[in-house]
Structure 1
Amino acid sequence: MHRLWPPSPGGSPTVVDDTALERLYDYPDDLDRPWVQVNFVTSADGAVAVDGHSAGLSGPADKKVFALGRDLADVVLVGWGTARDEGYRGLKRTETRTDRRLRRGLAELPPIAVVTPRCSVPPDSPLLTDTAVPPIVITTGASAAADRAALTAAGADVVVAGGRELDPVAALAALDERGLRRVCCEGGPRLFGDLVAADLVDQLCLTVAPLLAGGGIGRITGGGPVPVPRRLALASVLSDDGFLMLRYRRGD
């Protein structure tokens, strides 16, 4: 993997080792609020999936950056549609760098926080039955009380954030109350769109795969457009085997 931006003093691409990669993607120190990083992969022509799954777009370098996002986070935030379609379950100790997390004073494993406005996660989901850390289920007051109670009985930490519609500010506040400020959001498009609309995205990690997938596949953001586009600053560009790993941070 090579770093193309920021350029090296000599102007040539710089080889990026694990230490440099960790430094590039680390969260800011001494956070006093939730800080949201969003991860997405897209084809060169903008597709967000192949055969309904993002894995068809990924490569070794992208997977490494994706895993690093989890290693450095307090919590993994994901929409229920993405969690369901991608077969999410609780993180395993073999899926994270325990030494890296402990060195940074983080819990051994981050919990999964699933956003589902209608509380659609079934109690027998692998997110609850195959996990070492209880998941957080973020829903709304419009969801059925019986569904919320069933998930609580199954071991989930159920959070109500909003009345009829999800309130992303309240959702992040609930994570903050639990000491979870390093937020790694892994989609999907509707959740990303809600975070953009609420101006809550601090960093976007976008991998562009060297593939053409054709039309008919959605964008990485769902929902409506924002009145004023959010300004981002290019923070780094990495390349590996034709893949580009772009990192944008909140602009001024």
Structure 2
Amino acid sequence: MTPPTEVVDVEELVEFYRDPPVGVRANMIFSADGAAAFGGRAGPLSCPLDQQLLKALRGLADVVLVGAGTARAENYRPVRLSDAQREWRAARGLADVPRIAVVSMTGNLPQSLFDPSAPAPILVTSAQAVARHHLSGERWQLLIAGDDTVAVSDAVQQLKSQGLQRILCEGGPTLLDSLVDEGLVDELCVTIAPRLAGGQPVGTRIQARLASPTALRLRHVVQHQDYLFLKYAR
């Protein structure tokens, strides 16, 4: 068996991710026993290189898509990029920084997301939620997708129609489940942490509607210390 490629820093690692698909690229971390978080947060499973990869993947995207629960638990803020990332984006005609789009049925977004010097977040919600919670477009860009619940397929299509073609989904598992159910995940980036986390309830996951598992192709396996970085394509 060929051993995985070893990397020492994020400059080496990000070269394996320079080709984001037009569509949805999901990035997740899991413990060795399959937990997506510990104590409600992904941070305890992560390592410095995984955190650096997260920032690097954002620099390659047009928009970061995340569930409201994850945004609150991880205290999300507007995307900040290095000068080198901004130069890379400018050379390719991309916006200075990617937008952040949060899927929420209540509009309960962390205050840390709102910064006058950064682009306003996009609130992805349903028509019923807008009426129930009197949501408007004053604090965010309002994207209404679906009537009773958020229709993720409609949301993805609307983001693409706004020129946000490369969508980076950072979870949580409930949002990822919805994208998988609709056949919308084009690429899955998975970090396997050398941790045992036990049972960790995350989100409100329901049984998938898939008739059979969706087949993926393994594009790479990269190792840093005891962490594995995998990329799958549909």
**TM-score, normalised relative to structure 2:** 0.88
- CA pair 92-179 structure 1, distance change in 2 beyond 3 A: same
Q: Is the 8 A contact 1:192 1:220 kept in 2?
A: no
The aligned residue for residue 103 of structure 1 is 91
CA shift for structure 1 position 104:
2.8
* 1:201-240 pair list within 5 angstroms: 201-214=185-198, 216-218=199-201, 222-225=205-208, 226-240=210-224
Q: Is the 8 A contact 1:42 1:206 kept in 2?
A: yes
Q: Is the 8 A contact 1:67 1:96 kept in 2?
A: no
Where in structure 1 are there 5+ consecutive unaligned residues? Answer: 6-12
Cα RMSD for the two superposed structures: 2.5
CA distance in 2 between counterparts of 1:174 and 1:84 reads 24
CA shift for structure 1 position 129:
4.0
CA shift for structure 1 position 192:
0.3
Structure 1 stretch displaced more, 92-101 or 163-172: 92-101
Q: Is the 8 A contact 2:107 2:123 kept in 1?
A: no
* 1:167-246 pair list within 5 angstroms: 167-214=151-198, 216-218=199-201, 222-225=205-208, 226-246=210-230
CA deviation vs aligned residue, 1:54-73 (integer Å, no higher than 9, x gap):
11111122122212210100
Q: Is the 8 A contact 1:91 1:131 kept in 2?
A: no
Aligned residues: 231
Residue type of the alignment partner of 2:125? T
1:46 aligns with 2:34: yes
- CA pair 26-91 structure 1, distance change in 2 beyond 3 A: same
1:26 aligns with 2:9: no
1:153 aligns with 2:126: no
SS at match of 2:55: helix
Where in structure 2 are there 5+ consecutive unaligned residues? Answer: none
CA deviation vs aligned residue, 1:85-108 (integer Å, no higher than 9, x gap):
110121234598222222332111
- CA pair 175-4 structure 1, distance change in 2 beyond 3 A: farther
CA shift for structure 1 position 17:
6.8
SS at match of 1:97: helix
Q: Is the 8 A contact 1:89 1:130 kept in 2?
A: no
CA shift for structure 1 position 227:
1.6
List structure 1 segments (4+ residues) > 6 angstroms apart after TM superposition. none
- CA pair 169-64 structure 1, distance change in 2 beyond 3 A: same
SS at match of 2:185: coil
CA shift for structure 1 position 43:
0.9
CA shift for structure 1 position 189:
1.0
The aligned residue for residue 46 of structure 2 is 58
* 1:122-141 pair list within 5 angstroms: 122=109, 125-129=111-115, 132-141=118-127
Identity of matched residues, % = 38
SS at match of 1:88: coil
Q: Is the 8 A contact 2:31 2:196 kept in 1?
A: yes
CA shift for structure 1 position 144:
3.5
Residue type of the alignment partner of 2:18? D
- CA pair 15-47 structure 1, distance change in 2 beyond 3 A: closer
CA distance in 2 between counterparts of 1:78 and 1:15 reads 28
